[in-house]
Homo-oligomer: A and B are copies of this chain.
Amino acid sequence: KPMGKENDKVVVLDFWASPYCMRTKIALREKGVEFETQEEDLWNKSELLLKSNPVHKKVPVLIHEDKPISESLIQVQYIDETWTDAASFLPSDPYQRSHAKFWADFADKTISFDSGKKIWGNKKGEEQEKGKKEYLESLKVLEAELGDKTYFGGETFGYVDIALVPFYSWFYALEKCGDFSFEAECPKIVAWGKRCVVGRGSVADTLPESEKVYQQVLKLRQIFGVE
């Protein structure tokens, strides 16, 4: 395809604090793909967002050649399959691929916006403690899977890392709201998160400052009526 054609344009309908949007932007940056972001007001969504993702009406939407793709992990796979010059996010061996998909799926199901919200969306008390317990139990399963590897895939930054690392930027906010320490509970995951930020430009360029996420979470607490 000729470069620079108008419809080659890559657009991400984005919200800067969304871990799901971060996945897509990290994947594009890993592949060296130029893209534009269009910031959405999630309380007043654009016509383009509603038209592009009529089923879920959620960010991120990846628009490539005027065609929209929804769901962040599906976008990451699309990016991997479309820009094949750079290294693949997934191993080529089907068994190893299924292994990576399993852990990305586990991370997706257990470390989510909703599971974090059980911590920041509650005052101190029983519900918040339950949320902390669940979140940390899941993260400890991921910590055991990570073990002493550099990245989840071994020496290669890949699919599981892309799926999980955006949530690292929310750790500080969760700690402040929940009064606990990820470092104490999951030291290997915290070291891995730092390693991703330091070692991968794609991650460093995508993840927002922890303090900025915390300020956003404080706004969300006001919106959702948490003291």
Contacts and interface: CB of A to CB of B under 8 A. Distances in A.
Interface string A128-163: 000000000000010000000000000000000000
A69 B71 CA distance: 23
Contacts of A78: 94-95, 97-98
Contact of A105 (B74, B101, B106): B74
Given A55-B106, A106-B55, A94 B82 contact: yes
Interface in A76-98: 77-78, 81-82, 94-95, 97-98
* Interface of A, helix, strand, loop or mixed by DSSP: helix
A24 interface: no
Nearest to A99: B69
Interface in A25-69: 55, 64, 67, 69
Interface size, A (range): 20 to 34
Given A74-B102, A105-B74, A69 B95 contact: yes
A94 B81 contact: yes
A70 interface: yes
A206 interface: no
Interface string A114-129: 0000000000000000
A75 interface: yes
